[in-house]
Amino acid sequence: MALGEFELIERYFTRPTARAVLGIGDDCALLAIAPGQQLATSTDLLVEGRHFLSTVAPERLGHKALAVNLSDLAACGARPLGFTLALALPAVDEAFLDGFSRGLFALAEAHGCELVGGDTTRGPLAIGITVYGEVPAGAALLRSGARPGDTVWVSGRLGDARLALEGFRGHVSLGEDFESLRVAMEEPQPRVALGLALRGVASAAIDVSDGLLGDLGHVLRRSGVGARIDADAVPRSARLAARPLAWQRVCTLAGGDDYELVFTAPPAAEDAVRRAGAAAGTAVTPIGRIEAEAGLRVVDARGEPLAEDWPSFDHFKS
Ligand code: ADP
Ligand code: MG
């Protein structure tokens, strides 16, 4: 590489560490874990064309690569500590590295999550991040804790990222909404503060990366329960609400790339859930109920069942 691997790491990725015992530069990084805490770790790999489009600004790509990992810590109620970065680059592009590292470190600093190491190689553009966080032993939010009678909640608003993606694909014309919608897709905000506030309150949680119903399905299977979801109660932006109802449903229920939290809590915990949302500055909305009967029942506001066969991606083409 023109710049040299080590100069590149030094210039774009080495920052003074505050929290880690040892950061970039040795064979291993060292992180201290406080007594009574468990280490939470998660990895996400982003590949060009599959997880992001080549048109994304490098700064936003840096943000998103870390955001999707922080979202996993959020879903477990873990506090971010640090992360490692594996980077494959087709060439040394300093404009790219400058923007990418700025977006990455802006989000890292906002969450007190330090870059402590990684690996750099030439290859098709791909970004692998592993995050580390801590959570008091036994307090992590899991997918397996939902119980019949629990309320199903979701944070923020769903569907804008999918609507933006369909705009990119040329399946819908978004006009003046395009730029603001693309921010939802390219700069998701991981709900770390909400995840922390939900410890001891939520019975189960997951982050919405592949679409609400699909991700909620993981919670239901792991918990051995089912659920009834009110499709019309799922919160959406005014921009999405102005689109035809069929689009709203696909984008909110099966959209993907939302990085909101869907979680469950007993009805008696409603006030505690609302306080957690207020403390985190994130809207929380009840959208349904956990039931003993397995499977997912999706109804409209009148309680009428909606077709099980979700209008899938292909319907946009017709
Ligand atoms: P090793 O050969 O021992 O794996 P490297 O020569 O690959 O070490 O990396 C040197 C140092 O730079 C290590 O501390 C490594 O963690 C760090 N590093 C390499 N690439 C990155 C990167 N993309 N981001 C952050 N740190 C990196
Ligand atoms: Mg290496």
28 exposure class (CB count in 10 Å sphere: 0-12, 13-18, 19+): exposed
Helix (H, G, I), strand (E, B) or coil at 173: coil
156 and 97 co-located in one domain: no
Sheet holding 126-136, edge to edge: 37-47, 126-136, 79-89, 114-122
Q: Of the candidates 108, 136, 164, which is a domain's last residue?
A: 136
Residues in CB range of 165: below 8 A, 6 or more apart: 185, 256, 257
112 and 206 co-located in one domain: no
Residue-range definition of the domain harbouring residue 202 = 151-299
Residue 268 and residue 189 in contact, taking contact as beta carbons nearer than 8 Å: no
Inter-CA distances, 309 with 214, 249, 312, Å: 13, 12, 8
CA of 120 to the centre of ligand 2 (A): 6
**What sign does the CA torsion over 79, 34, 32, 19 have?**
positive
**Any residues with Cβ below 6 Å from ligand 1, and which?**
9, 13, 24-27, 85, 87, 115, 117-120
User: What token pair was written down for 144?
Assistant: 């397996």
CA 168, chain centre distance (Å): 20
Query: What does the alpha-carbon distance between residue 179 and residue 190 come to, in Å, rounded to a whole number?
Result: 20
For residue 34, how many other CB atoms are within 10 A of its CB? 7
78 and 131 co-located in one domain: yes
- Reading phi first (left if > 0) and then psi (alpha if -120 to 50, else beta), residue 253 is in alpha
Q: Would residue 142 count as lying in a domain?
A: no
162 and 274 co-located in one domain: yes
Per-residue pLDDT of the chain (318 residues; tens, 9 = 90+): 578 888 999 999 999 888 888 889 899 999 999 999 999 999 999 999 888 888 899 999 999 999 999 999 999 999 999 999 999 999 999 999 999 999 999 999 999 999 999 999 999 999 999 999 999 999 999 999 999 999 999 999 999 999 999 999 999 999 999 999 999 999 999 999 999 999 999 999 999 999 999 999 999 999 999 999 999 999 999 999 999 999 999 999 999 999 999 999 999 999 999 999 999 999 999 999 999 999 999 999 999 999 755 544 343 443
222 appears as a binding residue in the annotation: no
98 appears as a binding residue in the annotation: no
Any idea what the CATH number is for the domain that residue 239 is in?
3.90.650.10
Q: Residues whose CB is under 5 A from ligand 2 (ion)? A: 119
- pLDDT score of 50: 86
Query: What does the alpha-carbon distance between residue 202 and residue 194 come to, in Å, rounded to a whole number?
Result: 11
Any idea what the CATH number is for the domain that residue 60 is in?
3.30.1330.10
Query: What is the β-pairing status of strands 114-122 and 79-89?
Result: parallel
Atom of ligand 1 nearest to the CA of 86: 23
51 appears as a binding residue in the annotation: yes
Query: What does the alpha-carbon distance between residue 223 and residue 202 come to, in Å, rounded to a whole number?
Result: 13
Q: Would residue 141 count as lying in a domain?
A: no
Query: What does the alpha-carbon distance between residue 237 and residue 158 come to, in Å, rounded to a whole number?
Result: 8
User: What token pair was written down for 264?
Assistant: 């469950």
CA of 262 to the centre of ligand 1 (A): 36
Q: Would residue 235 count as lying in a domain?
A: yes
CA of 286 to the centre of ligand 2 (A): 46
166 and 294 co-located in one domain: yes
Q: How many domains does the chain have?
A: 2
- pLDDT score of 314: 40
Residues in CB range of 295: below 8 A, 6 or more apart: 220, 226
